[in-house]
Amino acid sequence: MSLTEFSIIEKYFHQANKSRRDVVLGVGDDGAVVKVPNGYELVIAMDTLNSGVHFPTNTKPYDIGYKSVAVNLSDLAAMGAEPAWITLSLSMPQAEEKWIKDFSAGVFALLEKYDAQLIGGDTTQGSLSVTVQAHGFVPEGKALQRSGAKPGDAVYVTGSLGGAGLALSQQNVPSPILQKLTHPQPRINVGILLRYIASAAIDISDGLAADLNHILEKSGVGAVVNVEDLPMPAEFKKLDEDQALHLALTAGDDYELCFTVPQSNLDALEKIKEKLDCPVTRIGVVTSLNQLQFQYGDGSEYVIAKKGYQHFSS
Amino acid sequence: MSLTEFSIIEKYFHQANKSRRDVVLGVGDDGAVVKVPNGYELVIAMDTLNSGVHFPTNTKPYDIGYKSVAVNLSDLAAMGAEPAWITLSLSMPQAEEKWIKDFSAGVFALLEKYDAQLIGGDTTQGSLSVTVQAHGFVPEGKALQRSGAKPGDAVYVTGSLGGAGLALSQQNVPSPILQKLTHPQPRINVGILLRYIASAAIDISDGLAADLNHILEKSGVGAVVNVEDLPMPAEFKKLDEDQALHLALTAGDDYELCFTVPQSNLDALEKIKEKLDCPVTRIGVVTSLNQLQFQYGDGSEYVIAKKGYQHFSS
């Protein structure tokens, strides 16, 4: 079937019964008009997912919609921001109503969970590609940045590492592992509670080694990580140790948070742990050595063969 | 040659010597952090341009960069907003340094003109596609919307109509006509000055007939347009009248503004005309008839064969 751009937008992308008080004007004009509350700054994150690059061409439309929002909310989480609005640009070769219906269901599943509103965007003809921009609030001066880690800070990660990578590399993985890939949970709640506790944070999209390195480079520091402390999915017990560690350190797509906490805030972190909706695990310490080292518990070095995925790398 | 994603961003998309005071954190973290001034609302517009759909595959990279920003600033203009920041997602099959250099020059040409800053985005592998989101400020409650036109309001357009359409349909057009297509001028100055004068506004991306119709539908009104009053490029005198009118009414890509002005504000419009950086021309009047009619000066009807471009239309 064939639909015009306007009827697609009307039918599947209007949230008729959704209107945040800070949205003056939503979908349907040349632009959206919104308000940022006094005392807050606006955090903005934009990520694009292309078919065949960021997800397999046979991915379900619901999962594409879900993930295109999840990866952006994950960026907000890493900044300590509370989600408010998203915009969405959807390019597709043709407009199939069933596909669009399922895709939009995936988008709205996450938006409704976080009381966020779709306020605008674009639908165009082209190769299948989704760009989402997420907008969130953070109290003035309280955004978590990559640049704040200091020697002596403890290094933490949320949840477990490597599950999405295993699901990408193997078929017929157990359902909890597949969920890590298809329906990652943005760590919004953790990010908000870390605003006054963490010194630096990032979300793990390209693998722990690559993403922790971003914190270290921006902060001008190094770190030692104990690979025996890495939290991994229960199903990883069936893997040999080297495969498990390699996935946990280098596989992307988990969308967990990696963050650093000054020693003076460790008590505060303990106190908020019960409010967190996922475990957090201490995996290492920030050093002044300007390099990232991986060790076993006995102090011997663990060497990883390669780092996370980079587009256009030679 | 081959470049990593990070080196591309560093080399061509950092504005090292550019930092607006309302940008707390720009390119280089999980998200940007920005401030909206007190008393202002934020206007957000997002448009995607796909190669082979929105621009010919042989379009110069500078022109793609320029236009991807221009069409979004044009949306801000239609809302009466002053540009502040953009985010940019660029998908491309491979990273060619010369292409990226020229593309970014087109992007920054417009940003510098309007003192706007690139604060974030994404670069990914995929079919050539550019998504830009533009962010601007408007005083609280003063955004120009499509829905405010009332019977009796005068209908105006900026600049001239049809030039971009002629350049799209013919090769070897005169340079001023080609410029209309490749380097449209967002009518920012006009939009800002119309905040307290116009009752409704839209930018003309899909042709005057289609876009004026959006104002009429959102406002629940109609309009009569005198086709003999339509402003057209000087070069259109060489065309036969029907071809010229058809282009002026139905061709897209001019990115002029169409706006309506209550009779009580016509004097105010006259007074600001000398401050405008382009002509504005009265072309008709809003009616209560719920339809858009085109007439010659003698009152006889002009009928157009088809309306503006719609993606996915059947």
The answer, for B68 touching chain A at a CB cutoff of 8 Å, is no
Dump pLDDT digits (tens) for A25-60. Answer: 998 899 999 999 999 999 999 999 999 999 999 999
Q: What is the least distance, in Å, from the CA of B80 to any CA of chain A?
A: 10
Please tell me the distance from the alpha carbon of residue A197 to that of residue A200, in angstroms, as a whole number. Answer: 9
Q: With CB atoms and an 8 Å threshold, state whether B36 touches A42.
A: yes
* Least reliable range by pLDDT among A18-27, A93-102, A304-313, B77-86: A304-313
Determine the pLDDT at residue B312: 59
Please tell me the distance from the alpha carbon of residue B104 to that of residue B159, in angstroms, as a whole number. Answer: 27
Q: With CB atoms and an 8 Å threshold, state whether B202 touches A2.
A: no
Please tell me the distance from the alpha carbon of residue A103 to that of residue B197, in angstroms, as a whole number. Answer: 41
pLDDT, mean of residues A198-205: 97
| pLDDT confidence bin for B171, thresholds 50/70/90 | confident
Determine the pLDDT at residue B170: 87
Q: With CB atoms and an 8 Å threshold, state whether B38 touches A34.
A: no
| pLDDT confidence bin for A1, thresholds 50/70/90 | very low
Whether the per-residue pLDDT at B60 is higher than 70: the answer is yes
Whether the per-residue pLDDT at B245 is higher than 70: the answer is yes
Whether the per-residue pLDDT at A308 is higher than 50: the answer is no
Give B 197-216 residues with CB within 8 A of chain A: 201-203
* B189 vs B314: which has the higher pLDDT: B189
HEC assignment per residue over chain B: CCCCHHHHHHHHHCCCCCCCCCEEECCCCCCEEECCCCCEEEEEEEEEEEECCCECCCCCHHHHHHHHHHHHHHHHHHCCCEEEEEEEEEEECCCCHHHHHHHHHHHHHHHHHCCCEEEEEEEEECCCEEEEEEEEEEECCCCCCHHHCCCCCEEEEECCCCHHHHHHHCCCCCHHHHHHHHCCCCCHHHHHHHCCCCCEEEECCCCHHHHHHHHHHHHCCEEEEEHHHCCCCHHHHHCCHHHHHHHHHHCCCCCCEEEEECHHHHHHHHHHHHHCCCCEEEEEEEECCCCEEEECCCCCECCCCCCCCCCCCC
The answer, for A115 touching chain B at a CB cutoff of 8 Å, is no
Q: What is the least distance, in Å, from the CA of A68 to any CA of chain B?
A: 13
ipTM for this model? 0.92
Dump pLDDT digits (tens) for B202-224. Answer: 999 999 999 999 999 999 999 99
* Least reliable range by pLDDT among B17-21, B76-80, B191-195: B17-21
The answer, for B129 touching chain A at a CB cutoff of 8 Å, is yes
* Mean pLDDT score of chain B: 93
pTM for the whole structure: 0.93
Q: What percentage of chain B carries pLDDT values higher than 90?
A: 84
Q: With CB atoms and an 8 Å threshold, state whether A31 touches B75.
A: yes
A58 class by beta-carbon count within 10 Å (0-12 exposed, 13-18 middle, 19+ buried): exposed
| pLDDT confidence bin for B75, thresholds 50/70/90 | very high
Q: What is the least distance, in Å, from the CA of B174 to any CA of chain A?
A: 30
Dump pLDDT digits (tens) for B37-49. Answer: 999 999 999 999 9
Determine the pLDDT at residue B307: 43
B contacts of A46 (beta carbons < 8 Å): 87, 89, 120-122, 131, 133
Determine the pLDDT at residue A239: 93
CB atoms within 10 A of CB A259: 31
Closest-CA residue of chain B to A22: B41
The answer, for B306 touching chain A at a CB cutoff of 8 Å, is no
B contacts of A309 (beta carbons < 8 Å): none
* Mean pLDDT score of chain A: 93
Q: Which of A29, A117, A129, A187 is most worth mutating to test chain B (most B CB atoms within 10 A of its CB)?
A: A29
A contacts of B6 (beta carbons < 8 Å): 310
HEC assignment per residue over chain A: CCCCHHHHHHHHHCCCCCCCCCEEECCCCCCEEECCCCCEEEEEEEEEEEECCCECCCCCHHHHHHHHHHHHHHHHHHCCCEEEEEEEEEEECCCCHHHHHHHHHHHHHHHHHCCCEEEEEEEEECCCEEEEEEEEEEECCCCCCHHHCCCCCEEEEECCCCHHHHHHHCCCCCHHHHHHHHCCCCCHHHHHHHCCCCCEEEECCCCHHHHHHHHHHHHCCEEEEEHHHCCCCHHHHHCCHHHHHHHHHHCCCCCCEEEEECHHHHHHHHHHHHHCCCCEEEEEEEECCCCEEEECCCCCECCCCCCCCCCCCC
Give A 253-292 residues with CB within 8 A of chain B: none
Determine the pLDDT at residue A6: 65
Determine the pLDDT at residue B188: 98
A contacts of B313 (beta carbons < 8 Å): 2, 4-5
The answer, for A32 touching chain B at a CB cutoff of 8 Å, is yes
Nearest to B43 among A33, A51, A314 (CB): A33
Dump pLDDT digits (tens) for A112-153. Answer: 999 999 999 999 999 999 999 999 999 999 999 999 999 999
pLDDT, mean of residues B253-281: 97
- Asked whether the beta carbons of A211 and A280 are under 8 A apart, the reply is no
Closest-CA residue of chain B to A97: B312
| pLDDT confidence bin for A108, thresholds 50/70/90 | very high
Determine the pLDDT at residue B16: 60
